[in-house]
Structure 1
Amino acid sequence: MADRRALFRKDVTKVKRDATSESRQLMNRLKQMTPAQFVRLPAKTLARLTAAQYREVVGTIAPEIRLPAPSPPAKPERETLGWRERWRLLPSSAQMTAVTSVLTTAIVMMAIASPQVWRWTLTHIEIVRPGERGNWPRCTRLSPYTDGCLYFPTHDMDWNAVAAQLRMPRQQLYDDNKHLPPQFIPARAPIAVWRHRGRLVE
């Protein structure tokens, strides 16, 4: 009888040890993830975490998101509850869902906003070029953000087509390139792209 009890205790201890090791390995894997990877985890993986473990992972991979610490007090009147008290009264699954939604929204907004922010920043950097345009760098392509460079077309081009690609007024483009014929732009002729937002120096 004593041997069976000892064997049972040994088995229980092993199960607890294995569960603790598995939980520790899962936590280590989750802490190595990016927020985008974390929000794509299946619900059954998140269900294996306690509320404290979930907060620990979120605090590691997204420290900018502040989760109120759980401290369930005696339930006050519903009408007098502030948002912190209401948050603490939510089940752990609801808190996890809310945080996951916030993470997802933040990632999507960053993905949408980042290119626009970079474009806005780059277009507001002052360009300084020498007055002699022959020393300007070459443009790799024609786009609404091309500025302060020389473009050499590989074939004859129409003034309207070039102005449309640059999103510049045709007359402004032609006035800056009086060395070119008004009918068309010959192949390999340098087109000076200057939006008059920068500064020319001698």
Structure 2
Amino acid sequence: MADRRTKFRKDTAKVKRDAANESRQLMNRLKQMTPAQFVRLPARTLARLTAAQYREVVGTIAPEIGCPTPPPLPKPERETLGWRERWRLLHSSAQMTVITSVLTTVIVMVGVASPQAWRWTLTHIEIVRPGERGNWPRCARLSPYTDGCLYSPTYDMDWDALAEQLNIPRQQLYDDNKHLPPQFIPARAPIVVWRHRGRLVE
């Protein structure tokens, strides 16, 4: 395998040397021509020349003519580019740096702002109820989110089942409903659902 690589490198180097020699010989022949002979050359011969070689030949055989150097392509003005074009002009490593910085900033801001946002939200939706519980609104249904209302069951209920349904400790439920018997909850008896996260006012 090593012999094949060595042979390949030698062949490649030989091809490059041959191409360079052929290019030099072609340039020498062209520089010996007259302008009339040069303009009659076939297009395939001229196609083998680079722009710099073409200018070199013309400058040798007809220095009075000269070949104007093409002006460099104007760079696009950044002011006229949209953000997509500007983004495409950035190197991939710069793009990754920008993306990483933006994501880091967003994560830090969310981490810092989340507790404040939750506190602000909960402050504005704080449940406020009068101290007289008979004036509380009726509960539409019983769930772990029901709070600050009165529920009237259509059948006798068990304290443990109610506590599980509301996800409230049984003792807390009973302490808030001392007007009910401790053995069971009679049908149509008003049940106070209060999670002690709101505020009672007189």
TM-score, structure 1 length as denominator? 0.42
